[in-house]
Amino acid sequence: MSLQNPVFIPGPTNIPEAIRKACDMPTIDHRSPMFAKILHPAIDGVRQVMKADGAEIFIFPASGTGGWETAISNTLSPGDKVLAARNGMFSHKWINMCRQFGLEVIQVDGPWGEGLPVSRFEEILAADTAGEIKAVLATHNETATGVVSDVGGLRKAMDAAGHDALLLVDGVSSIGSMDFRFNEWKVDVAVTGSQKGFMLAVGLAITAFSEKAVAASKTAKLPRSFFSIDDMRANYKINGYPYTPAVGLLNGLKYATEMLLEEGLDEVFARHARIAEGVRAATFAWGMKPFAATPDLYSNTVTAVRTPDGFDASTIVAHAVETYGMAFGTGLGDVAGKVFRIGHLGMLTDAMALSGIAVAEMCMADLGLDITLGSGVAAAQSVYRHGNHSIMAAA
């Protein structure tokens, strides 16, 4: 692929030049006062982006997968029951991790393309009068299918069931690009990574813990060492880390949160919604549909484009790299070969999105699909032109 082209994978995302320069810094003593001027503003910035006033923020040198491990290992004990839905590749992987840690998973299988089965969760929790279920796992934005779930609605269902389980949320491909309301939704642990909405390279697992989750960590018995929030908290107090931190990435995170807050979170979310709508308009113009089952489930960070039956969607991704030097996402797990994914999150503009749409069109035409060149681009232009943005009733 060409390093001059933007990427349209749903993470890692394009890195703004200013953030890349912020990460490119001389070595400093991470036990010096200078490190504190990087660490604490980064933590405070994350807290604001997550809308998590009062939450404790813990940032580990890892990917989002390390954030999953942080969430469960600090709050649960061997044999604990957790409730989770398998409706995509990443919910599937988090469930597998829970089982590897010796947790008992109550797995609700849902069709890929659908969101969290909120009403089914409410039924299961209401029936658990003994309170055996200790946590509910939720994937806010399923990156493999382009499906966003209603975390706020899930919290209401948990409250309606009168259940006291922890709410652990994977926000890896949503936080920083889509509205995430940690406090309002009464999330107990939120997980994300540096390489998506925060527009950095892979390397930081970013977590937020509620007071309830911190209290649970005091009695949790799962093994933890590297991902111990107690060790991290103790070292934060002396402006340090329990081990060597990723100083450059943390400096980049500090700058990334400043950029997001300066643009304004509402403006950031509106930009992502507009770009996503343009991508979906192009998808419909091609005679195709997003894999998400209904418009209320459409993600504003990634669209999984369902290709015609019998066509291997992975050939589009391979052809784009080989012929045009541009990267799109392949289908994963149950949707491998059925979809290709257009990531539209992080540092992205309308004009950049148009370049990806145009290349996708050329690839599909090259591979023999019935695509009229310019059709998707024109549909997206109708959304982007002069900042137009309207909900697509025809979707």
pLDDT in tens, the chain (395 residues): 778 899 999 999 999 999 999 999 999 999 999 999 999 999 999 999 999 999 999 999 999 999 999 999 999 999 999 999 999 999 999 999 999 999 999 999 999 999 999 999 999 999 999 999 999 999 999 999 999 999 999 999 999 999 999 999 999 999 999 999 999 999 999 999 999 999 999 999 999 999 999 999 999 999 999 999 999 999 999 999 999 999 999 999 999 999 999 999 999 999 999 999 999 999 999 999 999 999 999 999 999 999 999 999 999 999 999 999 999 999 999 999 999 999 999 999 999 999 999 999 999 999 999 999 999 999 999 999 976 654 332 22
What pLDDT score does 392 carry?
Answer: 32
Q: Are 257 and 42 within 8 A, CB to CB?
A: yes
Q: H or E segment at 69? A: helix 64-73
DSSP state of 238: T
The DSSP symbol for 112 reads B
CA-closest candidate to residue 39, choices 323, 270, 216, 240? 240
Residue count of the chain:
395
Single out the residue of 39, 116, 108, 103 nearest to residue 76, CA to CA.
103
Topology alike, domains 18-261 and 265-387: no
Sheet (strand 133-139) strand order: 56-61, 204-209, 189-193, 166-170, 133-139, 81-86, 104-109
Tell me the sheet residues that pair with 56: 209
Structure tokens at 115: 């969101």
User: Model confidence over 50-103: pLDDT tens digits?
Assistant: 999 999 999 999 999 999 999 999 999 999 999 999 999 999 999 999 999 999
* Identity of the residue numbered 102: G
State how far the Cα of 275 lies from the Cα of 273, in Å rounded to an integer: 6
* 3 state DSSP class of 14: coil
Tokens of 62: 């890892």
Q: Report strand pairing: 166-170 vs 133-139.
A: parallel
Q: Could you tell me which residues come within 8 angstroms of residue 66 by beta carbon, excluding any fewer than 6 positions away? A: 60, 205, 227
Contact present, 140 and 170 (Cβ < 8 Å):
yes
- Report phi then psi at 90, rounded to 5: -85, -30
Computed over every residue of the chain, the mean pLDDT equals 96
Q: Say which CATH topology domain 18-261 has.
A: Aspartate Aminotransferase; domain 2 (3.40.640)
Determine the pLDDT at residue 390. Answer: 42
| Listed residue (32, 42, 29) closest to 200, CA to CA | 42
Residue 172 is classified by DSSP as T
Helices (H) and strands (E) in the chain, counts: 13, 13
- Topology of domain 265-387 in CATH is Aspartate Aminotransferase, domain 1 (3.90.1150)
Alpha carbon of residue 34 to chain centroid: 31
Reduce the DSSP state of residue 395 to 3 states and report it. coil
* Count of other CB atoms within 10 angstroms of residue 191: 27
Q: Which tens digit of pLDDT belongs to each residue from 148-195?
A: 999 999 999 999 999 999 999 999 999 999 999 999 999 999 999 999
Res 393: pLDDT? 28
**Torsion sign across C-alpha atoms 271, 2, 365, 319:** negative
Residue 389 confidence (pLDDT): 54
pTM surpassing 0.85?
yes
Q: How far apart are CA 183 and CA 185, in angstroms?
A: 6
Phi, psi values for residue 51, rounded to 5°: 55, 55
- The Cβ of residue 334 has, within 10 Å, a number of other Cβ atoms equal to 16
**Would you say 273 and 300 are in contact if contact means Cβ atoms under 8 Å apart?**
yes
- For residue 168 the two structure tokens come to 């652990």
Spatial CB neighbours of 298, under 8 Å, sequence gap ≥ 6? 146, 147, 148, 276, 280, 290, 292, 395
Q: Which residues pair with 82 in a beta bridge?
A: 105, 135
Domains of the chain, by residue range, sit at: 18-261, 265-387
